[in-house]
Structures are given as structure tokens and as C-alpha cells.
């Protein structure tokens, strides 16, 4: 264990003790479905976005691929997305440096010249009642408004600004294409997705000696419109398709697009918000950066279909319901709460 790692073993000692005591009596008790992911015959769609600027039939075909992947997979990869190699690399190296600060400085928000990160640090799962619910990861969860408000004095803040400026344009462009394909107003995102609600999550998954007994990140769906994810070369991200977990293998220079719950509701179930998770790695640490496209709290999510599957709700209502369910049941229930 490195000195900057969160104290997983000490803090969650009771969960570890209970788990391994039970394991001796029941044999196994590991995350039993982990093996399936590698035996996958499917290839996650890969969309070349350079065709969007060609106009005409190529651009139209590209838009159709984006919509099809969002319907069939709720997950796809993009290349030629407009985020340069340099921007991706800078973001990664600044992120690595930040996570390698002493654990207590990260918790107390006392990282040198990184005051804007204060209060944004998360690690583990405070509500976990068993080892399977413990996320073996740490993250900085930073609203865009925090980033834009700071003067770019440090490497990290300048790099984050640069990164989010360009990724937010990409997120909005993809969202507009998806809106157009279901007959919703493409301008919706420009009008409703304000920077104070969109955020970036920088994650680190330390190497995990007790893998496969814990996840890096538990199975979940994203509570936003869509997420743009950049993962490093280690791997571990998986998505659920037809009841099977499928590995999203790292591919250099690609970004991953994940459809969130709000798009599923707004499209009346046409686009899918699928479960995904991160498997902890025994030997290597892993880094990822996720950008979440979210609307303001009072934005109403309502399908334009004549026979809606979900009742209309505000984003605030959705978030409150998720928080309440997590508190009462230990996990998110999500969109099924809003079914008609
Ligand atoms: O780190 C990853 O690959 C996935 C992160 C993720 O799913 C999330 O932050 O919601
Ligand atoms: Fe996610």
C-alpha cells in the first residue's frame, strides 16, 4: 500500500473480518460473475466523428450510427472527437500528480494551490454494510463552475479548464444529435445544461490486494444525460448487455460515451442507460476522467412521445429520490421509480 492510498483496510476492518470469516465457512464468496466479461463475442460500436464535418450523406450516416449505438448499447466509443492527444495526456498527468498527494491533504482539501478541490474528494463507500458494497477507489468530483471561477495558476486548474472546455462542446454536440433523432429540440441542452450542474470526476482505482472480493466501482447507471469517459490502458470497465458483463477494452485515443438515465427517460426508453461497473485490479492502479452532462435542478424531463413510459419529473426530484433510496435501501433504484 502506498502512503497516499486511502486507508481501506483499517476503516472497513469489520467488513473485511466478517467477509473472510464467512468465506472460511462457505468457501468462495468472491464476485462470482467476473469471469464472464472476457468471453465476449460482441464488439462495442466505434464511431469516427470526423465524418460529421463532411456534411451530406457521410454526416447523416455518422449521426445514425450514434443513435443506433445509443439504442442498442447505450455505450459507444468515438475517435476523431476533437480532444487532442496533448490535452488528454496533460489531464492524465496532472490527475496522477494530484492523487499522489498525502491522503490527509486530499481529505482536508489542503493540496498546495489546489484549494478549488476542497470538499470534492470522495473515497470508499461510507454506507457499505458488506465488502461487495465497498468501492475500492478515490475520486475528485468537481462542478464546472468551480473550475471556471479559478485563475489558472496551477497545472491542474489550467489543464482542467482546457479539458472541460473542449469535452463540454463534444458532449453537447452528441446530445444535440441524439435529440434531433428522436424529434426533441436540440437547443434544449444549450438552454438547460448549465456549468454549475455539469461536473467532472477524476478517479483513481488503487491496486487492490483483495480483488476479486471488491469492486473498483459498484454496478450503477449514470444519473445524467450522458457521460464522456477517458480511461487509461489498464482496463476494468464493464457494461451489462443481455445479462452478461462485457469488458470495455481500452483503446488509445478513444473516448467512451455512456447514455445516462435522463436521456433514457427523455427519449421514452429509446436510448438505453445501461449498468456498468469497474473491476478492481490486483496489481495495477487505474485512472479515469468522466464528464457528466447534467441540467439545472428545475429542468423538466418529459418525453415527447404520445404514450410516455415515464411520468414527467424535474431533475431535482430525480436526484432527491436517488439520494433517499440510497439512504433507505443502500442503493439507487433509479428510473423504475418514475414508470407510469
Ligand atoms: O472509471 C470508469 O471507467 C467508470 C467511471 C464511472 O462509471 C462513473 O464515474 O460513473
Ligand atoms: Fe458511471
Model confidence at 27: pLDDT above 60: no
Ligand 1 proximity of 261 Cβ (cutoff 6 Å): no
Asked whether the predicted pLDDT for residue 35 surpasses 70, the reply is no
Q: Which domain holds residue 130?
A: 29-338
Ligand 1 pocket check for 237: Cβ under 6 Å: yes
Residue 32: pLDDT band (50, 70, 90) is low
- Grouping H, G, I as helix, E, B as strand and the rest as coil, residue 279 is strand
With a 6 Å cutoff on the Cβ, whether 332 touches ligand 1 is no
Nearest to 268 by CA among 292, 303, 298, 235: 303
Residue 258 lies in a domain: yes
Q: What percent of the chain has pLDDT over 90?
A: 71
- CB distance 122 to 137 below 8 Å: no
For the chain, how many structural domains are there in total?
1
Q: Which CATH number is 41's domain given? A: 2.60.120.330
DSSP run (H or E) holding 121: strand 121-123
Assess whether the C-beta atom of 213 lies below 6 angstroms from ligand 1. no
102 found inside a domain? yes
The ligand whose atoms approach the alpha carbon of 203 most closely is: 1
Q: Is 130 within a domain?
A: yes
Cβ–ligand 1 contact at 276 (below 6 Å)? yes
CA distances from 176 to 72, 181, 199 (A): 19, 9, 19
Question: What is the reported pLDDT for 117?
Answer: 85
Best of 206, 218, 227 for a ligand 1 pocket test (most atoms within 8 Å of beta carbon): 227
Mean pLDDT calculated for residue range 16-36: 66
Closest-CA residue, ligand 1 atom 1, reads: 288
Q: Taking all residues of the chain, what is their mean pLDDT, rounded to a whole number?
A: 90
Q: Which residue has the cell 464476485?
A: 31
C-alpha 109/C-alpha 121 separation (Å) is 8
Residue 47 has pLDDT above 80, yes or no: yes
pLDDT exceeds cutoff 60 at 28: no
pLDDT for position 189: 96
Question: Coil, strand, or helix at residue 248?
Answer: coil
What pLDDT, in 10s, does the model give residues 209-264? 888 888 999 999 999 999 999 999 999 999 999 999 999 999 999 999 999 999 99
- Domain assignment present for residue 17? The answer is no
The CA 221 to ligand 2 mean position distance, Å, reads: 6
Q: Please say whether the beta carbons of 143 and 197 come within 8 A.
A: yes
Taking the model in full, what pTM does it have? 0.94
Q: Is the CB of 176 under 6 A from ligand 1?
A: no
**Is 210 a member of any domain?**
yes
Q: Which of 123, 227, 127 is nearest to 170 (CA)?
A: 227
Is residue 278 situated within a structural domain? yes
Place of cell 426530484: 317
User: For residue 135, what is the DSSP state?
Assistant: B
CA distances to 138, 143, 157, 207 from 161, in Å: 21, 11, 6, 29
**Mean pLDDT score, 114-133:** 87
Adjacency order of strands within the sheet including 237-241: 215-220, 276-279, 237-241, 244-247
Nearest atom, ligand 1, residue 231 CA: 3
Output b/e per residue, 198-217; b: 16+ Cβ within 10 A. Answer: bbbbbbbbbbbebbebbbbb
Joined grid coordinates for residue 323 = 439520494
Q: Is 288 in the pocket of ligand 1 (CB under 6 A)?
A: yes
Question: What average pLDDT score do residues 104-120 get?
Answer: 81
Q: How far is the CA of 138 from the centre of ligand 1 (A)?
A: 11
pLDDT at 18: 84
Let me know if residue 24 belongs to a domain. Answer: no
Ligand nearest to the CA of 278: 1
Does the pLDDT value for residue 118 go beyond 60? yes
pLDDT of residue 109: 79
Distance 306 CA to ligand 2 centre (A): 30
Any ligand 1 atom below 6 A from CB of 273: no
Does 9 qualify as catalytic in the annotation?
no
Answer for the pair 59, 29: CB distance below 8 angstroms, yes or no. no
Model confidence band, residue 20 (pLDDT cutoffs 50, 70, 90):
confident
pLDDT tens digits, 154-199: 688 889 999 999 999 999 999 999 999 999 999 999 999 988 889 9
Mean pLDDT, residues 268-288 = 96
Residue positions counted in the chain = 340
What is the pLDDT confidence band of residue 39, given thresholds at 50, 70 and 90? very low
Pocket test for ligand 1, best of 216, 245, 278 (most atoms within 8 A of CB): 278
Which of 136, 237, 274 maximizes ligand 1 atoms within 8 Å of its Cβ, making it the mutation to test the pocket? 237
For residue 236, the ligand closest to its alpha carbon is: 1
Candidates 286, 311, 312, 319; catalytic one: 286
Is 266 part of any domain?
A: yes
pLDDT at 202 over 90: yes
Amino acid at each position: 500500500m502506498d502512503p497516499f492510498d486511502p486507508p481501506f483496510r483499517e476503516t472497513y476492518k469489520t467488513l473485511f473480518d466478517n467477509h473472510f470469516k464467512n468465506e472460511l465457512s462457505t468457501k468462495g464468496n468472491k464476485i462470482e460473475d467476473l469471469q464472464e466479461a472476457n468471453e465476449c463475442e460482441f464488439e462495442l460500436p466505434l464511431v469516427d466523428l470526423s465524418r460529421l464535418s463532411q456534411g451530406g450523406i457521410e454526416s447523416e450516416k455518422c449521426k445514425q450510427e450514434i443513435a443506433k449505438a445509443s439504442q442498442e448499447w447505450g455505450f459507444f466509443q468515438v475517435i476523431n472527437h476533437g480532444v487532442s492527444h496533448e490535452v488528454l495526456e496533460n489531464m492524465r498527468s496532472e490527475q496522477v500528480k494530484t492523487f499522489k498527494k498525502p491522503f490527509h491533504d486530499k481529505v482536508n482539501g489542503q493540496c498546495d494551490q489546489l484549494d478549488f478541490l476542497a470538499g470534492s474528494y470522495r473515497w470508499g463507500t461510507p454506507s457499505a454494510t458488506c465488502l461487495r458494497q465497498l468501492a475500492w477507489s478515490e475520486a475528485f468530483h468537481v462542478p464546472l463552475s468551480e473550475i471556471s471561477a479559478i485563475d489558472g495558476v496551477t497545472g491542474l486548474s489550467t489543464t482542467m479548464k482546457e479539458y472541460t472546455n473542449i469535452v463540454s462542446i463534444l458532449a453537447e454536440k452528441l446530445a444535440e444529435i441524439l435529440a434531433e433523432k428522436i424529434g426533441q429540440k436540440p437547443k434544449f441542452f444549450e438552454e438547460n445544461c448549465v456549468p454549475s450542474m455539469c461536473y467532472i470526476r477524476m478517479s483513481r482505482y488503487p491496486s487492490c490486494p483483495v480483488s476479486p472480493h471488491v469492486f473498483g466501482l459498484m454496478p450503477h447507471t449514470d444519473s445524467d444525460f450522458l457521460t464522456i469517459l477517458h480511461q487509461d490502458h489498464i482496463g476494468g470497465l464493464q457494461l451489462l448487455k443481455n445479462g452478461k458483463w462485457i469488458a470495455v477494452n481500452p483503446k488509445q485515443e478513444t473516448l467512451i460515451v455512456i447514455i445516462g438515465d435522463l436521456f433514457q427517460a427523455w427519449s421514452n426508453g429509446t436510448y438505453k442507460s445501461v449498468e456498468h461497473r469497474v473491476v478492481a485490479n490486483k496489481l495495477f492502479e487505474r485512472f479515469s476522467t468522466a464528464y457528466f452532462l447534467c441540467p439545472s435542478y428545475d429542468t423538466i424531463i418529459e418525453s415527447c412521445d404520445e404514450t410516455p413510459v415515464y411520468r414527467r419529473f424535474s431533475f431535482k426530484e430525480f436526484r432527491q429520490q436517488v439520494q433517499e433510496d440510497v439512504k433507505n435501501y443502500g442503493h439507487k433504484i433509479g428510473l423504475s421509480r418514475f414508470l407510469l
